[in-house]
Amino acid sequence: MTTLTDPPTESFRLSMLIYDTRYRSITFQIIALIGFLTLIGWLVNNTAQNLSDLGKEPSFRFMTEPAGYDINQRLIDYTSQSTHLRAAFVGLLNTLLVAVMGCALATIIGVVVGVLRLSKNWIVAKIMTIYVEMFRNVPVLLWIVLAMAIMIETLPSPREFKGDEPTASMILGDTVAITNRGIYTPEPLFSRSLGDVHLFGQSSLNFNISIDLLVLLAVLIGGIYVSRQIKHRADKIQETTGERPTTWYLRLGVVAVPIIIVLVALGFHLGYPELKGFNFKGGTHMRNSLIALWLALSLYTASFIAEVVRGGILAISHGQTEAAGALGLRPGKIMNLVVLPQALRIIIPPLISQYLNLTKNSSLAIAVGYMDITGTLGGITLNQTGRELETLLLLMLTYLIISLSISLVMNWYNERVKLVER
């Protein structure tokens, strides 16, 4: 009679870290990590030592000193006596303004061009192809400078609006002026304003937010929420009875009517730009540098988005469109209801990269004199203070946070629109 026994367990030996496949990969990863951290530590120590020898120990106290320069386009109050920190914050808001406006316009143009590139109309398809190939094969810096040059050279100056027989005139009922210094549009005002709320106290980042704007946003968000609840209720009725009730007027009413009531209660009116002296006063002024940068970045990025959209549409099986056509849907409905919703899961991941590229390309704003975060913190502040390391680290950290935020939002949206497989 034989007895089966388990083989004796092998005791751990140091040589197993190299020769045993169970531990070898972990060993190499730990060695690589130690080497990488050692290299980073050496670089940091060497940099700190060199700066100390030059009498430039790393310090961010310079951010609290007066900036001493003006910023032409700004969303919050700023003077030349404000700190470098506030100047950097103004530049950050300018960067975010261009990024948001650019991503919105580039998406609209890119989707339209991408769809039209697949048009059966030969002329339309070729024109869209020329647009795509022309914009994406020329450096974006050249488009920015060209857009600025066109605005300066072709648009009228403010003095051409003066006189009994002016050579230029305002548009839209004398409410908008398009000049070589920028565009002047009506400004929203409230005769019974609720005032402002101060953020960040008395710090360098202190700025005011209109309570009127916060109330309007709260009413808008509440209206959208109620509108979605009405839609969900209609969906349930359709699932139960097979008939969908008409709810568009209710959904429109719960969003629009409360906003109109609030606007009337606050005494909403428009402040129009007027020509006084050698320039327009009043209204909202969008400088030509902002418009040139916005249009150039949008048109350039839209050419890449168009190719992303075209590729996403072509990836959808042609049988989907044939089936929708067999049900009697028109081509426009097929594209909006069948093709694009399915193509979104293919379009969104590369679309994130285009949004990131547009945001980072906005750093070229200094070429046309638009003061973004690169022009303020990485430009004038760096030159005035001589703090190259500190300003560049702050600048890199700022763009990193913006890029990660865009990726986070778009990835969340991608999860929302992703098809659920059963």
What is the crossing angle of helices 84-116 and 388-417, to 10°? 40
Query: Can you list the domains of the chain with their CATH numbers?
Result: 77-141+286-417 (1.10.3720.10), 187-269 (no CATH)
Residue 271 scores a pLDDT above 80: yes
- Of 334, 296, 339, 297, the closest CA to residue 317 belongs to 339
Is residue 206 within 8 A of residue 200, CB to CB? The reply is yes
Of 130-134, 203-207, 232-236, 384-388, which one has max mean pLDDT?
Answer: 130-134
Q: What percent of the chain has pLDDT over 90?
A: 36
Closest by Cα among 414, 315, 382 to 63: 382
Confidence class of residue 202 from pLDDT cuts 50, 70 and 90?
A: low
pTM for the predicted model, two decimal places: 0.83
pLDDT confidence band for 422 (50 / 70 / 90): very low
User: How far apart are alpha carbons 389 and 380 in whole angstroms?
Assistant: 14
Confidence band of 2 (pLDDT split at 50, 70, 90): low
For the ranges 82-91, 285-294, 321-330, the lowest mean pLDDT is seen at 321-330
What average pLDDT is seen over the chain?
86
Selection from 312, 311, 313, 309 nearest residue 301 by Cα: 309
Per-residue pLDDT, 305: 95
